[in-house]
Each structure stands twice: as C-alpha cells, then as structure tokens.
Structure 1
Amino acid sequence: MKDNKENKMGTMPVKKLIVSMSVPMMISMLVQALYNVVDSIYVSRLSMEALTAVGIVFPLQNLMISVAMGTGVGINALLSKSLGEKKYETANKAANNGVLLAVLSCAVFMILSGFIVEPFILSQTAKEGEELAQDLDPLLVRECGITYGTICCLLSLGMFLQMTFERLLQSTGRTILSMASQMTGAIINIILDPILIFGLAGAPKLGIAGAAYATVCGQVVASILAFILNIKFNKEIKFSFIEMIKPDRHVIGRIYQVGVPSILMMSIGSVMTYCLNIILNGFSLTAQTVYATYFKIQSFFFMPVFGINGGSIPVLAYNYGAKNKERIKETLSFTVRLAVGIMLCGTLVFELIPDILLALFDASDDMLRIGVSALRIIAVHFPIAAVCIVLGSVFQAFSQSIYSLIVSLCRQLVVLIPAAWLLSLTGKLDLVWFAFPIAEIGSLAVTLIFFRKVMNKVTKQMEEVLS
C-alpha cells in the first residue's frame, strides 16, 4: 500500500494527482462555507442587529477554533510520527492526552466566558452616549452578541472534541471519514437553524440563541460521529479513560511544541477582525455588518484555494524528498494557475453582482450603499491572494513554516490594520477597504522574497545530492 502511494506521488500525472488530492478537502471546506453563509442568511432574517452581532462574536469563535485546530495539529504530528516509528504506546498517549486537552481547553473558555464575552462585545460597539449617532441599535447588537457568544463559549465541548477526533482520523490517513464527520455537523446545523431560530416544527422560537444552539448541536453530533468512526475504523488507536485522566507532561509538551505555533498563526485572523471591527465602528455598525457579510461570501472562493493548497503540500514534500525538481515546478505552475483562475472568478462575481450577493442577507439600503463599493474594492486583491496562498505551501512542504507565520503577520496585522486605521482618518469609509489590496501587495512582495530564498536553497541542495 505504501509503495503504491509513493509511486502515485512520484509518478501520477501532476494535474490528475493534485485534483484527486484536493477535491475531498475542497468539498469539505465548501460545505463549511455553505454552513457559514446559510447560518448568516437565517440570522439576517431576524434583524441587521443580529447579523452584526454574529460578525462581532466571530473573532472569539475563531480564537476557540484556532486553539482546537492548533492543538489538533500537534496531536496529528506526534501521533503520525509515533505510528511511523512503531511507538504505539506513545501514539495512544498522544490520542488520549489530546482528548484531555480538548476537555481542558473547553473548561478554560467556559470559565472565561463569564468575564470576557460582555467586555469583548462592548469594546466593538458604540460607547455610552454615542448610540444616537449609529444607524443600528447598539443596545440590541450588544444583547444579541452577548447571548450568542456566551452560548458558543459555554457549550463549546462539542467543537473541541470534534476537532480532536477528526484529527485522529486524519493522522491515520482516514481523511474521507473525517470529511464525513465534518459535513454531517454542518448539515445538522443548516437543518436546525431555521427550526430553532423561527420556531418551526413545534420547536420554541429562540431567535439569535437558536442560531447558537444549532451551531452547538451540529458540533456535538459531529463529535459523537467522529468518536464512533475512530472506535470502529481507527484500530491503530486505543482509547483509555485511565490514560485520559492521567496527563503525561512529556507527551503534552511535545503536542504543544508543534501546536502552539499553529495556534498563534491561526489566531492572527481573530486579532485582525477584532481590530478592524473597532476601526469600522468609528463609521457605523452597518460597516461592521458589511465586513462580516463579505467574510462569509469570500469563503466560497478562498476555501477551494485552501483545498488546493492542502492537496499540493504532500506532493511538494514527497518530491522534495525524492529530489524531483521538475515535478515540484510542475506542481507549483499548475496550482498557481488553478488558484488564480478560481480567484478571478471570485473577483468577477464580486465586481458584477455585489448587490445580489448582499441581497441574500436581507441588506438594508444603507448596507447596500456601503457594501456594493466595499465588495468591489476588496475583491481586487483575490488573484494576488491566490498566488500568496499557493507559494506559501512551499514553506510548509519544505519545513520552513516560520516564513508562513511572518507572511501572515505582515498581511493581517503589520500592514492591513495600520493601513485601515490611517485611511480611516480621512473620514471616508470607501478608502478603508483599500487596506485589503494594499496589504495583499505587501504580502506578495514578502512572499516572493522568501519563496526565492527557499527555492534557491532547495535547488542547491538537490544539485549537490545529484552531483
């Protein structure tokens, strides 16, 4: 089986190989994107305040997801390595300690929810005495945000366990099963959203709380399914309650050695969104709503590119190990063209029908006025982002992930936030959206510098080995 896989990575036509490895990830990510959009569409039917509140809570949700996914990366790395070395005891400890870390992470956010949710929401909405200057009702936004955020934090165990159990499936190569779990959770969420929000089929009408409960229910179902799939198909791992309640410091240290950098890298987006929400609040709450809505819609184009990225990394890594420079070049050439093509489609959609996209979210006249120009300005950077994302796969495939972290920091914090703040000083909201293409151009410059450095180093190493 291993030989077949190796032959496929080294001999199958590159285009066919990339497509076959990327499509499952793309489908899984597109389902997640669909859930995010559908969830927001239902929430928008409640009110613009409810939609704004969900967008304001997003950085906190993303922080929890970052902790869960980053820890999962650490578990994945240690477990896969231990299985490869035939150290089955360490592999089992990685799995069982990973479950413990998921429970402890949830406990931390449950405790913090009583202290951080309200000030977190208040810091992104109008200050006392500024309510009348706002186009939406800040008090209602706060109320919806606190309700939604508190439920998501208090009942986050399903999300943490789902991420952990899915990573265990991925660690042993069962990516299809992991995808099935993820898709099931998203579908359950989509089904429950209208039922719990609007009180259909005899259910109570819960409003914004219903959206939060639907999310939580989807995560719980997905976590249970992922656990069952691990028990039934993941014979390499043996779960033990005794090992789960007996933390191994050495194993946990090795998990977080890989996991903490991943957590930090994934958390950058939370910091960026939080800071941008504060800047946009200086104009109006509707500006925040537009940004949150843009973020949901753009995922339909970014997620497939991330899927391509995920599919290309093992191909690049394998051929790097095999010293096959031509296949590396062919992989990069094809993935760049494919990713740019997808993003060009995204740019065209955003430029041609921004009003139709916003109308899906029951956009008010004010939201349309702000949103149409915002979507058109921001979408200019999509093709540039595609190049940065694909070239960034080289850093991960060639074990140079520090460069990926630097590029992410430059794009989302070092350039974008200062640029948005400086442009906001003009008092013209339309100019603030130009911070996105400005940041992406800066990111492209940094990416190209690092890419050239890494490729020169790799080429030199290959030439030395071959000579």
Structure 2
Amino acid sequence: MSKKIDLLHGHIFTSLTGLALPIMATALVQTAYSLTDMAWIGLVGSPAVAAVGAASMYTWLSQGVVALAKMGGQVKVAHSLGSGRPEEAAKYAAGAIQMGVLFALVFAAVTVFGARPLIGFFGLSDGAIIHNAQVYLKITCGLILFSFLNAIITGILTAMGDSKTPFIANVIGLIMNMILDPVLIFGVGPFPVMGVAGAAVATVTAQMIVTIVFLVVVKKDRLVFDKVRFLERIPKDYFRVMVRIGLPAAVQNLIYTSISMVLTRFVAGFGDAAVAVQRVGSQIESISWMTADGFAAAINSFIGQNYGGRRYRRVKKGYMTAIGVMFVWGLFCSGVLIGFPRQIFGLFIHEADIIPMGISYLVVLGFSQMFMCVELTTVGALSGLGKTLLCSVISVVFTSARIPLAMILSSTPLALDGIWWAFTISSVIKGILFFICFLYVSGKLPEDGAQASW
C-alpha cells in the first residue's frame, strides 16, 4: 500500500487529515523527546532544568537556520510535483539538502567555539548552571547535522504526500531516547553518571538514528529521491528560488527565537528558577504548538500541490477545513492548560516553591492556544502559496512587540506574569490578523485552471 497521499483529487478532509495526522503524531513524538528529557532532568533538580533551558534556546535558533532550506525545498518540491515535473522536484530536493549540510557545519562551528559568550548572554548567576549549559550546547548543536537532515527530508517527504515515514522514523528515535535518557543521565551498569551531558548525548543519538532510518527508506523511493543526486551541481536559479521562498521563513524564525532569547534574559532577572519555569512551561505548551505546526506542514503541502496544479477551489476549501480542525484542537489545549496546571507542571518540577510560578505560566498561556493554532496553520497555508514574506512581516512586527510589552507589564504588580501575558496578547493579535490575511489573499485567486497573477 502506498505511503503517499493524492492531494490533488478526492475528498479534501480525507486527503488533508490523512496527510496531517501522521505529521501531528510526529510532532507529538518530537515533543515527547523534550518532555522525556525534562522529566528525567527534573529529577536532578531545577538548576539542571535551567541549564538545559538556556542551552536549548540555541537548538531552537537552529531551526530558524534550517528553515530556509526546508521551506524553500518543501514548497518548490510540492509545486513541481503538482505541475507534473518530478525531475525538477528532485533538483530542488538535492539543493535543499546541500544547503542544509552547509548550514549545519557553520552553525556547529559557531556554537562549539562560542559556547561561553552564547550562554553568557542570559546572565545566569550560578557557575554550575553556566557550565552545564555550555556542555549541553556543545553536544546538541555541535552535532546539529542530524537534526537539519531530518527536518529537510521530512519537508520533502511531506511535499510528496508521505507523512507516515517521518512518523515511523521519529517513533524509533523516541524509543531510543526514552531508553538512553535514564541510562546516561543517572548511570546504569557500565555507563557513568553524566547528568545534563547524558540528556544531550541521548537526544543526539536518537536524532542520528532517525537520520539513518530516513536514508534507508528514501533509497527505495521512485518518485523523487531516486532522481536525487546529492553531489550534483544544482543550477543557481534553483537556489535563488528556494532562497526567495525560504529566506522570509528563516528570518521570521530567527527573529522569533532571538526575541524569545531576549525575553529569557528578562526572565532570568527574576532568578534562575524562573528560567527553569519558562523552559518546562514552554515544553508543556509545545504539545499544542508543535501539533499545530505539524498540521501547518500538511496544509502547506496540500495547498502547494493544488496551487501548482491550479486547483484554487481546493486551496480555499482545504484551508477552511484545516482551520476548523485546529480551532477545536486549540480550545482543547486551552482547557487542559487552564484546568489542570498544577497536575501537569508537577510532573516535571518537584520543588514546592517553584510550582506556583509554573501554574501561572500555564494558565496565562492557556488563553492563547486557539489563536496560536490559527496563526501557525495560516502561516503554513500562505507559505504554500509562496507568500512567505507576508507571513514574516506580520510575525516579526507583532512578535517584536513582546519585548516592550513585557518590559511594561513586568514593571507592574504582575511582575513575572507580565512577561507571560506579553506572549499571550501578541499570539491573540497574530491569530486574528493571519486569518484575515488569508481570506484577503485567497480572495484574489482566479478560477480553477487559470494562471495566478503573482
């Protein structure tokens, strides 16, 4: 039975959810990577959580770097396949992988040799936390190549209509991560106690295994990867097109993460424990946004192929179907975070004096989940139309507004909670604006079969 789903024909809900569900499941698996780390590191103590939290900001930053190759490759592979040009799709796939490898090597060099000032940016006060953060950074980002390859290959497979392979690969990686975490963090049998370093080694090893699974699977593909020549010299025009599409998404991700890093520095002003709260809280919240991001990848490929095939009516219907699903998911996540914050946060942090801070984080961020899901889904949809610059402008402007808003609100009696409210308010505004923007852009699409004007 084919793993690829026909996105150009058939029932829209069936096609879209058939592609989206494995992607969403994959996103949940990837979230489980981090939650598994947090659960075990939380047993070591909040200082260890703070160290991992600070260093992980740079692994998050790396996703902005790889987004250029991933988004550019995914969108153009989908467009090429939608218009019946698999040879062209293979060239875009090869170019995306080549860019990803180059970016990974550069990013690894910067983070390994610059670990001290990079961690120093956050202004942490405890020497042990600073040391552990540097160790975690050097391991996870020094071997970021596997993460980059996984992201790019996932994007290409998704553009092909295959979301099951990434899910299977990531489940295998998760199982390995769950086995290695306690073994390497606390030391079992011949393995020494490694603490924070053990969590980093477990994560990188799991990512390497996922890469191996991908390489084994894509060798059997006869749609795109059998035509990919990884060392082939790709024409410059292909790179220019991918950069034009992928650069806005990359800049958006980089700015978004950079803003979050600045806000983390603000959070550190309330103590190292506050950094641990932000780290754990954001990982819990990621169950919502990573799932929405996974659904956004599905709607990106769905819209990309149908736009390439000039099936504009399916583009509009596909988006409204996706929004309906994400609206319900967002409301569910809000209910869970607002209704059960103590029970959820208590699974990861066990110090009684820190748990109330975590409860506040989850409750405040709970109010934004539905709007955030709408935002991410719409970004995927607009990117599928090639409108990545529009997405970047909206995201950058209103995400940047978090900094002055956090400064103002945190100086009121809200204190630390003011920073959390800055996150929520900006997410609400972005969700509403993105929805309106897609309605406007899609309203300019012509009838099926005609050439779009952009």
TM-score bucket of the superposed structures, by smaller chain? 0.7 to 0.9
The correspondence of residues 223-372 of structure 1 with structure 2, limited to 5 A, is 223-234=211-222, 236=224, 237-238=226-227, 243=231, 249=236, 251-316=238-303, 321-324=310-313, 330-372=317-359
Query: 1:112: Cα distance to partner?
Result: 1.2
Q: How many angstroms apart in 1 are the aligned matches of 2:449 and 2:170?
A: 44
Q: How many angstroms apart in 2 are the aligned matches of 1:238 and 1:406?
A: 36
Q: Aligned to 2:412, what secondary structure does the other structure show?
A: coil
Change (3 A) 1:254 1:453: closer
1:423 aligns with 2:409: yes
Query: 1:91: Cα distance to partner?
Result: 5.6
Q: Does the 8 Å contact 1:410/1:443 carry over to 2?
A: no
Which residue of the partner structure matches residue 110 of structure 1? Answer: 108
Aligned mate of 1:149, from 117, 137, 158: 137
Query: 1:293: Cα distance to partner?
Result: 1.0
Which residue of the partner structure matches residue 190 of structure 1? Answer: 178
Q: Does the 8 Å contact 1:186/1:218 carry over to 2?
A: yes
Return 195-204 or 390-399, whichever deviates more.
390-399
Q: Does the 8 Å contact 1:166/1:181 carry over to 2?
A: no
Query: 1:26: Cα distance to partner?
Result: 1.0
Change (3 A) 1:39 1:86: same
Query: 1:144: Cα distance to partner?
Result: 1.0
Which residue of the partner structure matches residue 26 of structure 1? Answer: 24
The correspondence of residues 108-187 of structure 1 with structure 2, limited to 5 A, is 108-126=106-124, 131=125, 138-187=126-175
Query: 1:232: Cα distance to partner?
Result: 2.8
Which residue of the partner structure matches residue 386 of structure 2? Answer: 399
Name the Cα RMSD after superposition: 3.2
> Could you give the per-residue CA deviations for residues 182-232 of structure 1, whole angstroms, max 9, x where no partner exists?
332233222211111111243222111111111111111111221122223
* Matched AA of 1:440: S
Aligned mate of 1:41, from 39, 42, 50: 39
Change (3 A) 1:449 1:39: same
1:446 aligns with 2:412: no
Q: Aligned to 1:205, what secondary structure does the other structure show?
A: coil
Number of aligned pairs?
A: 445
> Could you give the per-residue CA deviations for residues 339-368 of structure 1, whole angstroms, max 9, x where no partner exists?
222222212211222111111113312221
Q: How many angstroms apart in 2 are the aligned matches of 1:451 and 1:191?
A: 44
Q: TM-score, normalised by structure 1?
A: 0.84
1:101 aligns with 2:99: yes
Q: How many angstroms apart in 2 are the aligned matches of 1:71 and 1:463?
A: 30
> Could you give the per-residue CA deviations for residues 214-264 of structure 1, whole angstroms, max 9, x where no partner exists?
1111111111221122223356435657x36x6765554444333322322
Change (3 A) 1:58 1:227: same
Return 339-348 or 110-119, whichever deviates more.
110-119
Change (3 A) 1:388 1:81: closer
* Matched AA of 2:63: I
Which residue of the partner structure matches residue 385 of structure 1? Answer: 372
Which residue of the partner structure matches residue 65 of structure 2? Answer: 67
Q: Does the 8 Å contact 1:198/1:205 carry over to 2?
A: yes
* Matched AA of 1:265: Q
Change (3 A) 1:21 1:417: same
Q: TM-score, normalised by structure 2?
A: 0.86
Q: Does the 8 Å contact 2:20/2:294 carry over to 1?
A: yes
Query: 1:98: Cα distance to partner?
Result: 4.2
Q: How many angstroms apart in 2 are the aligned matches of 1:200 and 1:101?
A: 39
Return 159-168 or 296-305, whichever deviates more.
159-168
Unaligned runs of 5+ in 2: none
Return 300-309 or 147-156, whichever deviates more.
300-309
Q: How many angstroms apart in 2 are the aligned matches of 1:368 and 1:192?
A: 27
Change (3 A) 1:144 1:28: same
Which residue of the partner structure matches residue 134 of structure 1? Answer: none
- Larger gyration radius, structure 1 or structure 2: 1
Q: Does the 8 Å contact 2:311/2:449 carry over to 1?
A: no
Unaligned runs of 5+ in 1: 132-137
